Structure 1
Amino acid sequence: MKSTLTAALLATLASAQQGLQPPVQTNVTVFAPPENYTIPKVLYGRVRALECPGNDVLLATWENYLPVDGESEGCPPDCPENPYIPIYESFDQGQTWAERSRVYDTQNGWGLRYQPELFELTEQIGDYEPGTLLVAANSIPADLNGTRIDIYFSTDEGHTWEFASNVAEGGYAVPDNQYDPIWEPFIVTHEGQLIVYYADQREPGTNGTLGQKLSHQVTDDLQSWGPVVERPGMPVLAELPNGKWIYVFEWLNTDVVENQPGEPAFEFYYRIADSPLEVADAEDVPLLPFNSDSQPRGTPYVVWTPAGGENGTLIAGDNYHTGIYKNTQLGARDAWEYVETPAGLAYSRSFLVLPNDPSRIMIIAPGPNPGVGDNIVYVSTIDIDDDETPYPERYTGHQATSGKCASRGEDAAPTDSTPTPIATPPVQTALADKLATNGVAFAAVLGAAALL
Structure 2
Amino acid sequence: MNSPATTTIHRGAVGEAGSLYTRLLATDPQGPNAGAMLLTWELRLHVADDGGPSFPIWRSLDGGHSWEHLSDVADALGRGNRYQPMMIELTEDLAHLRRGDLLLAGNSIPTDGSSTTLALYSSRDGGASWAYESTIDQGGPAIYSPRSDATTTAVWEPDLHVLDGVLHCYLADERDKAAGMLQTITRRSSSDLRTWSEKDLVCGIGDRKHRPGMFVGTGAMPDGLHRAVIEIVGPPEVPVHLLTSTDGVDWGDPAEIGLPLVATDGTAVSGTPTIAWRRVDGDPENSENSENVEMIVTGRHSLRDGVAGNRALRSRDLGATWTSFELPTPAVRSLVGDGSGYSQSVRWNAAGQLVHATTVASPTGGHDVVVTVAESVPS
Q: Give the TM-score normalised by structure 2.
A: 0.82
Contact 2:4 2:328 in 1 (8 A): no
Contact 1:30 1:96 in 2 (8 A): no
2:230 aligned to 249, 268, 271, which one? 249
Deviations along 1:53-105, one digit per CA (max 9) or x if unpaired, are 454421110111335479xxxxxxxxx65111110111222222121001111
C-alpha distance in 2 between matches for 1:330 and 1:117: 24
Q: Note closer, same or farther for the CA distance 1:372–1:246 as it changes in structure 2 (3 Å cut).
A: farther
Q: Note closer, same or farther for the CA distance 1:237–1:62 as it changes in structure 2 (3 Å cut).
A: same
Alignment of 1:349 with 2:349, yes or no, is no
Alignment of 1:32 with 2:1, yes or no, is no
Give 1:384 deviation, angstroms: 4.3
Q: Which has the higher contact order (CA 8 A, sep 6+)?
A: 1
Give 1:385 deviation, angstroms: 5.3
Please show how residues 114-263 of structure 1 align to structure 2 within 5 Å: 114-176=83-145, 177-204=150-177, 211-232=182-203, 233-238=213-218, 239-253=220-234, 256=235, 263=236
Please show how residues 61-76 of structure 1 align to structure 2 within 5 Å: 61-66=40-45, 68=47
The match for 1:276 is 248
The match for 1:364 is 357
C-alpha distance in 2 between matches for 1:180 and 1:207: 13
Deviations along 1:343-364, one digit per CA (max 9) or x if unpaired, are 235111112122332xx22111
Consecutive unaligned residues of structure 2, counting only runs of 5 or more, are: 204-212, 283-290, 303-309, 334-340
Please show how residues 384-395 of structure 1 align to structure 2 within 5 Å: 384=376, 386-387=378-379
Give 1:27 deviation, angstroms: 3.1
One-letter amino acid of the counterpart of residue 251, structure 2: V
C-alpha distance in 1 between matches for 2:355 and 2:328: 12
Contact 1:184 1:234 in 2 (8 A): yes
2:263 aligned to 278, 283, 289, which one? 289
2:21 aligned to 22, 41, 44, which one? 44
C-alpha distance in 2 between matches for 1:48 and 1:24: 23
Give 1:183 deviation, angstroms: 0.2
One-letter amino acid of the counterpart of residue 181, structure 1: A
C-alpha distance in 1 between matches for 2:350 and 2:62: 12
Consecutive unaligned residues of structure 1, counting only runs of 5 or more, are: 1-22, 71-79, 257-262, 388-452
Contact 2:217 2:229 in 1 (8 A): yes
The match for 1:424 is none
One-letter amino acid of the counterpart of residue 106, structure 1: A
Q: Note closer, same or farther for the CA distance 1:277–1:90 as it changes in structure 2 (3 Å cut).
A: same
Same amino acid, percent of matched pairs: 28
C-alpha distance in 1 between matches for 2:120 and 2:369: 23
The match for 2:37 is 58
Deviations along 1:180-234, one digit per CA (max 9) or x if unpaired, are 00000011111111111110001226676xx221111111111111120112321
Deviations along 1:360-383, one digit per CA (max 9) or x if unpaired, are 2211102349x9814111112234
SS of alignment partner, residue 279 of structure 1? coil
| 342-351 or 109-118, which deviates more | 342-351
The match for 1:326 is 314
Alignment of 1:103 with 2:84, yes or no, is no
Count of residues in correspondence between the two structures: 337
Contact 1:43 1:64 in 2 (8 A): yes
Q: Note closer, same or farther for the CA distance 1:206–1:59 as it changes in structure 2 (3 Å cut).
A: farther
Contact 1:308 1:385 in 2 (8 A): no
C-alpha distance in 2 between matches for 1:27 and 1:218: 38
Q: Note closer, same or farther for the CA distance 1:151–1:54 as it changes in structure 2 (3 Å cut).
A: closer
Structure with higher helix content? 1
Q: Note closer, same or farther for the CA distance 1:285–1:207 as it changes in structure 2 (3 Å cut).
A: farther
Larger radius of gyration: 1
Q: Give the TM-score normalised by structure 1.
A: 0.69
Alignment of 1:301 with 2:279, yes or no, is no
Give 1:48 deviation, angstroms: 0.9
SS of alignment partner, residue 234 of structure 1? strand
Please show how residues 84-103 of structure 1 align to structure 2 within 5 Å: 84-103=54-73
Alignment of 1:267 with 2:239, yes or no, is yes
One-letter amino acid of the counterpart of residue 194, structure 1: L
**How large is the RMSD of aligned CA atoms in angstroms?**
2.5
SS of alignment partner, residue 252 of structure 2? helix
C-alpha distance in 2 between matches for 1:98 and 1:368: 22
One-letter amino acid of the counterpart of residue 39, structure 2: A
Structure with higher strand content? 2
Contact 1:308 1:328 in 2 (8 A): no
Contact 1:45 1:364 in 2 (8 A): yes
One-letter amino acid of the counterpart of residue 43, structure 1: L
